[in-house]
Each structure stands twice: as C-alpha cells, then as structure tokens.
Amino acid sequence: MGSITLRRVRKSFDTVEVIPGVDLDIADGEFVVFVGPSGCGKSTLLRLIAGLEDVTDGQILIDGQDVTHAAPSKRRLAMVFQSYALYPHMSVRKNIAFPLKMAGLSAAEQDARVAQAAGILNLTPYLDRRPGQLSGGQRQRVAIGRAIVREPAAFLFDEPLSNLDAALRVNMRVEISQLHKKLATTMVYVTHDQVEAMTMADKIVVLQAGRIEQVGSPLDLYNSPANRFVAGFIGSPNMNFVEGEAAARHGAHAIGVRPEHWQLSTTAGALQGTVGVAEHLGSDTFLHVGLDGGTPIVVRAAGEVPVHHGDRIWLTPQDGRIYRFDAQGLAL
C-alpha cells in the first residue's frame, strides 16, 4: 500500500511562502510526476512528503496515517536524489544493503535482498566496486537499488535523470517505467522536463509558484489544458499563442495552436509569415516562422517539407485544434 494525501500543505522559509497551500491525492500504485519550471516548488513539495523539510501548516497522510511530523525514516518512503547521494566510502553492495542494515535485518537476509535488487538492475558484476568506479547510469541504478531493497510504500524521485546524458536519460526513463510496472509501487517523480512527465506519468501535477495549476493524465493535459501556463508547458515544442485580431475572430483574448497542428500552404491560409529558420530532421521539419504581425510561431510538419529560410508561407490551424484563452489566461 502507498497512497499519499496532502491536505492544505503550506511551506514558508522565514517570511517567504513557497507552497501557499496544496491539496493532492496520490493513489496506491500510481506514477505521479510533479512538473514545473525551476523554483516552482516541486522539489520542496517532494521533500515535504519525504519529511526532509518541516511542514509549516497542513497535513500529510500516508495510507491514511498522519505522518506530518514523523521522521523521514518512519514514513516507509525511499528516495532517489538528483546527485545519486551514494555513500562514497562503501561498496555498491554496502550501499544497497545500508537501509536493510539500519532496519536490523540479518546478514543473510541482507545478502539475499541485495542479490535480488542487483539482479533486477543489472548491477551484479559491480557489487564490490565503489561508487567512484561506476558510470553515471550505473550510479543511478545503485541509488534505485538502494531504494527498492526496502520495499517501501512509495518511491520519491527528485530529478533523478538530470545528471545523465541525453541517450542514457532515455534508457533510464524506460527502465524506471518498467520498474514501476514490475513493482506496482507508488512513485512520485519530480522533473522540469515535460517529456519525462508525458512519457512516464499516470498522472501529472503541473506546478507554478508553489500552486497546482492542473492535475490530470498526460493526454488530459495535452488535450484540455486548464490555462495558458499548462498549455504552454505541456507539449514539445511549446504551444504557439496568437493574440489580437486573429484571436478575436475566435472570440478569445488569445488562441493557442500546437506546432504539430498547423496546416502549411504556399498559396493561401489564415495567417501569413516568413520562414526564419527551417530545421530538416528527416522525420519532421521544424519551421520558425515570423508572422506578419511579428508574432513568432514554431511549426512542426511531419516528414520532409521543402521550405527554406526567407520563404513566404501561409499557416492555418487544424479544425478543432485551437485552444482559446481569456485575458486572465484561463481556458474558454
């Protein structure tokens, strides 16, 4: 079991309020991703759940039990840190066994669980090495191994892939998702990378300035963003926003169109602009277009499109793919 409930959780550092009050329910076995720009309070929220920061006000429940003031070690949670936070003076085996040693398990039980975790994470050949002798990906796996041996109620991940290179990040992303399928344990994952959020989460929590902007499944957020912030944050490249006359024609203060939802034409369309940069990737073509009014637009076209710098093109939003927002940025 590993349900987590936050009730009006507030956090202030001296006079600065970083979490003004958050309510959230995380169901047992769910993979929840906290996503938001730097400084939005996502890591603080995770640390509050972990017990590494004291809650200023409100309640945190794990499996219905109030743990607001419980020590981190009493919450049955395991955490994987951005910096891996491995114990450099211990071998991989001792690192993974450390939580078991602290729990007072017998040496035989420790060995058995370490062997099992090492097997799952392909770490068996490295058990007698020190963290300093491992690559970044291996270190991250050791950190995950240290978390899974405890069989915790939930895993907390604090930007665990940020220190890895792009290729390794994709591999580890898949590994963590597979691990979640295998263990079926609640996972709370913090990232600023919305691609990680979209690909891994059952449920995404979008945060801004310590407030939850929207909670929902990745496709919910993609298809029905509650406001301009969420619309702009979810999806890659970001959603394009057009204000003024073009928006007024749709009865909105601003309209949003995702890069992949434009129709291109060299002869006619709703908006005209000039291609600034054309990125030809083979599978896709990304066009950075300056509309005649000055608004910059990014267009993603499937396959190869023979358009180049300086070309004049027409853009038309696809039917039913226009997001409308009022002056406050709320979706209409």
Partner 1 sequence: MARTVTPARKLTFTILAWGIAGLIFFPILWTVLTSFKTEADAIASPPKFLFFDWTLENYATVQERSPYVRHFLNSIAIALGSTLLGLAVAVPAAWSMAFQPARRTRDVLMWMLSTKMMPAVGVLIPIYLLFRDLGLLDTRSGVIVVLMLMNLPIIVWMLYTYFREIPGEILEAARMDGASLWNEIRHVLLPMALPGIASTMLLNIILAWNEAFWTLNLTTSKAAPLTAFIASYSSPEGLFYAKLSAASTMAIAPILIMGWFSQKQLVRGLTFGAVK
- Binding residues (CB under 8 A) for partner 1: these are 50, 52, 71-73, 77-79, 81-83, 85-89, 98-99, 102-103, 146, 150
Q: State yes or no: cis peptide before 237, omega within 30 of 0.
A: yes
182 CB-contact burial (10 Å; exposed 0-12 / middle 13-18 / buried 19+) = exposed
**Residue 28: Cβ within 10 Å count:** 14
| Residue number, 79 or 287, with CB nearest to partner 1 | 79
Closest by alpha carbon to 212, among 226, 224, 199? 226
Q: What angle do CA 127, 95, 109 make, to 5 degrees?
A: 80
- Closer Cβ to partner 1, 95 or 208, answer by number: 95
CB of 77 to partner 1, least distance (A): 7
What are the residue ranges of helices labelled H in the chain?
42-50, 92-102, 107-120, 136-148, 166-183, 194-200, 218-223, 228-233, 245-248
CB of residue 79 vs partner 1: minimum separation in angstroms? 4
**Smallest gap from residue 264 Cβ to partner 1 (A):** 48
Nearer to partner 1, 90 or 209 (CB): 90
Give the residues across from 256 on adjacent strands. Answer: 241, 323
Exposed / middle / buried, residue 167 (Cβ in 10 Å: 0-12, 13-18, 19+): exposed
**Contact of 144 with 121, CB cutoff 8 Å:** yes
Considering the complex, what minimum distance in angstroms separates the CB of residue 9 from partner 1? 19
Q: How far is the CB of 257 from partner 1 (least distance, A)?
A: 42
Q: How far is the CB of 104 from partner 1 (least distance, A)?
A: 9
Q: What is the spatial order of strands in the sheet that 57-62 belongs to?
A: 16-26, 4-13, 57-62, 65-66
How far apart CA 192 and CA 233 sit, in angstroms, is: 10
| Smallest separation, CB 309 to partner 1 (Å) | 39
Least distance between partner 1 and beta carbon 13 (Å): 12
- Choose between 58 and 72: whose C-beta lies nearer to partner 1: 72
Closer to partner 1 by Cβ: residue 96 or 204: 96
Output 158 or 196, the one with its CB closest to partner 1: 158
Asked if 240 contacts 321 with a C-beta cutoff of 8 angstroms, the reply is: no
Question: Which residue type sits at 167?
Answer: A
Q: Which is nearer to partner 1, 15 or 328 (CB)?
A: 15
Question: CB within 8 A of 51, min separation 6: which ones?
Answer: 67, 70, 71, 72, 74, 75, 77
Residue 136, token pair as written in the block = 């970044």
Minimum Å distance from CB 17 to partner 1?
A: 18
